[in-house]
Chains A and B, each alone.
Chain A
Amino acid sequence: MKKIHLSLIAAALIGAIATPAIATTPEEDKATFQSYFKQRFPNVPEDDFKNGAYAIDAIGRENWEAIEEFPPYENAISSGETLWNTPFANGKSYQDCFPDGPAIANKYPHWDRQAGQVMTLPLAINQCREANSEKPLSYKKGPIADLLAYMAFESRGQITNVEIPSDDPRAIAAYEKGREFYFARRGQLNFSCAHCHFGNSGTTLRTEILSPALGHTTHWPVYRSKWGEMGTLHRRFSGCNEQVRAKAFEAQGEEYRNLEFFLTYVNNGLELNGPAARK
């Protein structure tokens, strides 16, 4: 009898250890995700998470606020505005593709039911260009980052609001692939995205304070001092993957679009404040 009890306890323990606390629906995931960071950083006001590491690093914040007095992304906004207003060779412009104007960052990423895939703003921009016989832009930096900077600036103050249609299993599958990507170990260093920006957020990696994942999607594109220029969210994804010695995936490929879908969804409710300056 005692043996049976012991076996049952052992089986229960193995089950408990082996089964991660999986939140089964996106809504549950979001609650789990946001609640984790609010408990981890109880002194950070909810609307301050959008400022990344500067929400938890007082000295870094002072430097950042000084930088924001003459923001290094200003030129990108101006260039982006020029691009937005410059007609294509056929006489049409971005306004024809995006009739609601440039302030549409809160509509992306979204599930494109017709294409059966996650649609991001950079992808939509290039689809617009190709539809108007223009060459697509490179996805990591350069003119696309300028255009995105202008659109992000015009969208400031909007609230992250990604919707995952529950009646389309393909959308749920894309979200779950993004979640798996986020939590899967990869590369020679065997790290997941979550190892740095979830469980170790707020701790230091050499001299840098690891930013919480809550707030990671609000402020793109970014002028990063390390880059000395503007870069997109997928450029940062690539860099993170390479830092753990994994081969980076293609910017705007399915892997990173699904990752963006997941990560932006769990950031729902946060204010968009791009473009931004980061170290």
Chain B
Amino acid sequence: MKNRSLSVGALIAALMMVIPAAWATHRSEAEQAIAAARAAHEQAASVQAASPDTAAMIEEAEGLLPSRQYTKAVEIADKAKIQDRFAYEQASSGKVADAGAASKAKEAIAAAEAARKKADSVGGEWRDTAQMIKDAEGLAKSGQYNEAIQLANQAARQGALGYEQALKEKGASFPSYVAKKP
């Protein structure tokens, strides 16, 4: 009986230690991520490679702290850090990493943006397409060209489908199962 109580107690103690760490991001983690992002930004600035986009992202992450959106703040700060580190490495080494892939990613993103605009022109843009393109741009700036191309292609497909959908739905009216009442 005593052994059982001890086991239950140990289990509860273990859960209390593990669960909070799994479900929540602490403010200190968000602050650390922001500090790391800022350091990477300053490093990139030292070789004139810092982007105003990453500065805006760090600011955005900081702006999330008062509303306790720590997980989102960490996510944005980490993205900024990766982009600034990549920019620093490129600038300090004087090499352009995988120029072919970079060019393909640029083309894929441009195609996705064109598809999004086409869908928007007929009121058929989907909710997440613009964000996907923005994320693809971030990936390309981090040197993750294949991931950027993949995401941009998905966004382009969304744009094409949204455009087709809007054209197909022109003239939509009462469904056929509704009895007409003259």
Show the binding face of A for B, using Cβ within 8 Å: 17, 19-23, 28-29, 31-33, 35-36, 179-180, 182-188, 190, 192, 194, 198-199, 241-242, 245-249, 255
Contact = CB atoms under 8 A, between A and B. Distances in A.
Given A32-B181, A180-B169, 4 more contacts: A20-B174, A28-B182, A185-B169, A188-B158
Interface size range on B against A: 20 to 34
Interface in B143-182: 158, 161, 165-166, 168-182
19 contacts: A20-B176, A21-B178, A21-B179, A21-B180, A28-B181, A28-B182, A32-B181, A36-B178, A183-B172, A183-B175, A184-B166, A184-B172, A185-B172, A186-B165, A188-B128, A192-B169, A242-B127, A246-B127, A247-B125
A199 B181 contact: no
A255 B123 contact: yes
A183 B174 CA distance: 7
B179 A198 contact: no
Contacts of B170: 180, 184
Contact of B126 (A179, A247, A255): A247
Contacts of B171: 180
The SS class assigned to the B binding surface is loop
A180 B165 CA distance: 13
A35 B175 contact: no
B174 A21 contact: yes
A194 B127 contact: no
B129 interface: yes
B120 interface: yes
Which of A32, A199, A242, A249 has most chain B Cβ within 10 Å? A32
Contacts of B128: 188, 245
Contacts of A19: 176
Given A186-B165, A186-B166, A188-B158, A32 B174 contact: yes
B126 A188 contact: yes
A247 B159 CA distance: 11
A247 B175 contact: no
B127 A188 contact: yes
Contacts of B165: 185-186, 190
Nearest to A192: B172
Which of A19, A184, A245, A249 has most chain B Cβ within 10 Å? A184
Which of B130, B175, B181 has most chain A Cβ within 10 Å? B181
B124 interface: yes
A17 B172 CA distance: 14
A179 B120 contact: no
A182 B171 CA distance: 11
A25 B75 CA distance: 53
A190 B173 CA distance: 15
Contacts of B179: 21, 32, 35-36
Nearest to A183: B172
A186 B124 contact: yes
A180 B168 CA distance: 12
Contact of B173 (A20, A248, A249): A20
List the 8 closest pairs (A to B, CB-CB), nearest first. Answer: A184-B169, A31-B181, A184-B172, A183-B172, A247-B125, A245-B127, A21-B180, A32-B181
Contacts of A23: 173-174, 180-182
B123 A187 contact: no
A190 B166 CA distance: 10
Contacts of A33: 174
A258 to B, nearest CB: 11
A15 B70 CA distance: 57
A32 B129 CA distance: 37
A38 to B, nearest CB: 10
Contacts of A21: 174-180
Contacts of B125: 246-247
B52 to A, nearest CB: 26
A246 B172 contact: no
B126 A187 contact: yes
A165 B14 CA distance: 71
Contact of A29 (B120, B126, B168, B174): B174
Given A185-B165, A188-B126, A255-B123, A179 B173 contact: yes
